[in-house]
Structure formats: structure tokens, C-alpha cells
Chain A
Amino acid sequence: MKTYSPTGILAARSGYRVNLVGLVSFFVVLFWALVALFAPYIAPHSVGEMIDLDYFGPMRPGLWLGSDYLGRDMLSRVIFGARYTVGISLAAVSIACFTGVVLGMTSAVLRGPVDMVVSRLLDALNSIPSKLFGLMVVAAVGSSIPVLILTLSVIYIPGAYRFSRALAVNIETMDFIMVARIRGEKLPYLIGSEILPNIIGPVLADLGLRFVFIVLLLSGLSFLGLGVQPPYADWGALVRENIGGLPFAAPAVIVPSLAIATLTISVNLLIDNLPQKIRDRSTS
């Protein structure tokens, strides 16, 4: 029974205990999601259009975030960059967590040889350094968005698998699983209806965390020039192409860095401060 200081609590009508930090970070995440979704409607210019004669221009009316190394509108580029950073990461994390969690629960229920084979295979995959693996795949088959999504999800499947398997193994020893087994229930029901509802809270938290890792890895790959290809750019690529503006304190290099920071930190804070009832689901 934790007690929270009353200042941090907005007592919501729904019976959920909402935390102020959680609320703020939720709005930041929502902001970036909306930006990514409606990018073509809110961006003042197109991605490749050169509108400024100067490069690394400062912030001024009309060019709210300055211009980049080719004199393009930085605001538009950040807005479109959100599409790639949020979109690719979301797709990759969905694939990674769905595959990992389903495999993890299956291994926990079936045990024996299935568990052994799947666990060892994914352990082997886990032992490859993630950035190196990404570099290798992109070097071998070239960089395109589907390749990026698949590579990123393969890198994060073993982690999701280990996490969900560890949770599911604890649930699997409970009597209600035994009851379901001797009722004659099959695997899909066991993992979908008996185990998943009991681990969904931690799994969602893990999903958020993994999303942050993927954003960072994707930005890292783009920074090395292996991610999204020009003229399109995600935030990592924006940092890289404008790195020359660092001595000029150009907003072009600071803004995308800030974008990455706000998104990842907010997602993290949101996970840590989810409305209480949701996070307590596994224990209540």
C-alpha cells in the first residue's frame, strides 16, 4: 500500500489514479504521434525544397526552426522525420513484442524440447551485438524501410521472449492452469485466455521500454548513414547531416536531438507513471 503525495494525484472519475508526471509525458507522446500522423497537413514546406539562401540559418519568422545545411526548412524536416522515427519504431516494436510474447508463452506452456530449441536459438541471436547485426544486414541487403523494420524487430525478439517466458513460467505453475489443462484446453486458449491477461501489465511496460531502445537504435543507424535514405530523413539522420552546424550553434542540429530526447524520455516516464489500475492488473 503506497501512499502518494496528494499534489501529484489527479483523482480521475474513472477510478484510475493518474499521476501528474504521467499526464504530462502522455501529452508529449500524444503530440509526437499526432505530428507523425498529420505531417503532410501541418508541414509548411515539402521535405526537399530549398527555401533559404543561407545554410544553418537561425530561427526567424517563416523559418521557425532555422534552416539545414542545404537551406531547407528545418521545421518541415523534423515534422516529416517524426513519421519515420515513430512509424518504423512502432512497427518494429509491434512485430518484436508480438512474436516474442507468443513464443515465450508457448515455451512456458509446452516446456520440454520446444522450450529448449526456441530458447537456445533466441539466446544465440541475443549474443550478437545489436548495432553490429544491424550494420551487417543493411550492408548485405541494402537499406529500405521494410528491411529496417524487420531487422530492428529481429534484434528485439529475444528480449521480449525472455521477459514474457519468465513471467509466464510463474503463472503456468498456478492451479488454474492445471484446471484448464485437465479440462482439455488447447494451447491457443491456454496462452491467450489464461496466461496473457495475467502478464499483460508488465508486457505493456516492456513494450514501451523496447520502443525506446528501437528509437535509439534506429537513430544510431541513421546517424551512421545506414537508416532512412535522403532526401527523406528520420531524426537520427537529421542530426547526422547537420552535424557540421555544431560550431555555429545551429538549431538544425539541436532540434532533432531534442525531439529524440523528448520522445524517449516521455515514453519512459509514461510507462513508470501509468494510471494505477492498469499497472496493477497483474497483481490485483
Chain B
Amino acid sequence: MSWITARRRHRASGYAVVLLGLAAIAVMYASVTGQGSQAAASAPSVSGQSIAEGKFLFSQDCSSCHGLEAQGTSLAPSLIGAGAAAVDFQMSTGRMPAKEPGAEMDRRPDVFSQKQIYEIASYIGSLGGGPAIPDAAQVSSSGANVGLGQELFAANCAACHSIDGAGGALTYGKYAPALSQATPTQIYEAMQTGPEAMPVFDDGAVTPSEKRDIIAYVTGTRSEPNPGGFSLGRIGPVTEGIVAWIGGIGLLVLAAMWITAKRREEA
């Protein structure tokens, strides 16, 4: 500390302290906030796909695990009856084709074009029903009841995804992903098909209108400004405690050292 003590009356020391403080805050901020990029809402228009084209793509890229007739193998489940929505969800979020088997597939950049995904989806859909890809009106937030969406989300979704959609850990390496990148269509499809560890919320459990309310709540929450300052990652009191110790006690300890510092004795 003695070299600080020696230089603390230097003309530039005040600026240096302010700069250091700002830099520390910047690092703290950068470390706790996510990138939060938002995918543009997709506009599914299920039209003009060629089931044959889809079957060809499927046999090329999916059949090694799911079987040539999508009947499933020991590696992956049967997709007969899984529905077009399940295919669109898994492939548009980049979870399929799977990179490697694991507790849970991570969201990755998608490797197929939207057109190819629709073709494969229509092929799987043609094999035997299952939920279809929703149209734009089904996932639209306009006129939705956000308040009801909040209540539904708190009761049904927050236990895993956390109340502000930050995601959360589940058991045995599984997790509920953050909802920061999910498009309205993907949120709808996830509720309809129950991917990974998620339960199915079909139209009997959560009506189509309520699904729109939930979508409006999720997309609204992540774009909501933080009136109190930096969000600290919106993960609750854990980051708040870290900031209280580093930012609060840390700054005040520096102040206390400054106040009680003595002129350095000649050695």
C-alpha cells in the first residue's frame, strides 16, 4: 500500500481513482449481463413443401439415428406422430441434428434453411398427425392479456425457466434454457410438443388464447427496460450480494484507506 500512499496526493490521482472505479463497474456490468440478442420472429407459412423433398433430406441427415422410416432406433425416438411443430422447434433452434448425445441438447445456430426445415416437418407431419406449425395469428402478441400471461407463466413456467425467463438448472445435467432467444413460434411449439425435459402444455391445459398471453409476457419481459439501473443479469439477490461486497464494501474500504493514510515515513 505504501506506493499508493506516496502518490495519493498526485495531481492525477483523483482522475485515476475515478477511472479505476468506472473500469471496475464496467467489468462487473459486462460480466453479469448476457448478450441478449433477439432472433427475429419467424413467419411460418406452411405452404408448397414437397413431402418427397423432406423425405430425401430426412434420409440423408436424420435417418442414421431416427431410422429410415422415422420409426426410431436405440439411439433416438420414433418420430411417427411427433408432428411438424416438434421438427420445426428442434431444427430451427439448432438442437437437431444433434451434435452429440448428452443430457440435453443445447441451442445452436441452425444448419438447415427454413425451407428445408419445413420440408422435413411436412414429411414427419405426413407420417401421422401431431401438432402442426402455428401460423402468425396463433403466436401474435397483439391484443394479448399480458397480466394473465404473467399469472400463467408464474404458475406453469417460472418454476424451471425462472420468473423473468433467465432459465434454471434441473437435475442430472438437464436445464431449462433461458428464453432470451426463443421466437414466439418456438415458444408456442415448445408448449405444444414438450421438448427435452419440458412437459406438454396442449390446448386442453393452456388454451390457444392463453398461449398468446404467455408469449406476450415472455417477449415483453425480455425487452422491458430496467428502470433501476443495470439489471445485474436479472438473477436475483446473488449478484446483488456480490455487488454489495465488491462495489459497496470495496469502494468504502478504499475510501477508509485514503482517509486514514499517513504520510509515508522516510525509510
- Say if A and B assemble together: no
Q: Which residues of A contact B (CB under 8 A)?
A: none
